[in-house]
A = this chain, B = another copy of it.
């Protein structure tokens, strides 16, 4: 059984860990409108004609820059808009009063954040920029209005929300059933897959988050994350230097993630 197929039949766990699994795009300069945005294929549904796209441009009210370390929104903030990430990298997290923090996701260009705010009209998590970022502000009222007009957009919005539900299901599997090295393997495979879909290398990446943030997402302590990295490195599966990671043996990672079915 081929590895790709093996992983497909196996829950597509690391593939579900991200918000979007879109077509490859090539980086180039862009204009403000969605219709000219090079992230369009990541953010917007396919199948619109030029006229429709014009209308769709109305969905984005403004752009907003967020400096590294700053919050795009935080727990308790009134919900008004969804945000499409244009550049930069975010984490979303929730925390308890006694200081325990859970990272609920990492988001990159082309992905949508803010869905948590719809149900109560207030956000229930924090969205923190892990590097300087720019987002498209999409007032949710616009999204809903245009959704009623364009069934394709409506379906797209539903798919985005459903994808997030399915992703979180996969994270529950990770947290509930997998061991430390399996979790980290799934994490690395997921990250590189998403980066690859954005035109980056499949085997090389620079992490935008600390060991502690990875650990928070994966339900383990930073020391355990570090040890798992070192183990992979000792085994010749990856090369690590601080936040630079080079994957030397993708198949080995896939086997760690899913030892039974890949062989």
Interface residues of A (CB under 8 A from B): 9-13, 16, 94-98, 100-102, 104, 115-120, 124-125, 144, 147-149, 151, 154-155, 157-166, 168-173, 175-177, 216-219, 258-261
Contacts and interface: CB of A to CB of B under 8 A. Distances in A.
Nearest to A75: B11
B261 A98 contact: yes
Contacts of A124: 11-12, 16, 166, 169
Taking chain A's interface residues, is the majority helix, strand, or loop, or is none over half, making it mixed? helix
A168 to B, nearest CB: 4
A13 B115 CA distance: 18
Number of copies of this kind of chain in the complex? 2
A46 B151 CA distance: 24
A98 B144 contact: no
A165 B167 CA distance: 10
Contacts of A16: 124
Contacts of A165: 115-116, 119, 161, 164-165, 168
B125 A177 contact: no
A192 B4 CA distance: 43
A177 B144 contact: no
Contacts of A102: 169, 172-173, 176-177
A59 B218 CA distance: 40
A60 to B, nearest CB: 19
A173 B162 CA distance: 20
A164 B158 CA distance: 13
A144 B154 contact: yes
B176 A158 contact: no
Contacts of A100: 173, 177
A209 B218 CA distance: 27
A218 B154 CA distance: 34
Nearest to A169: B104
Given A119-B163, A176-B219, 18 more contacts: A94-B173, A97-B258, A97-B260, A97-B261, A98-B260, A100-B177, A104-B172, A115-B161, A116-B166, A118-B162, A125-B169, A144-B155, A144-B158, A147-B154, A148-B148, A161-B161, A168-B172, A176-B217
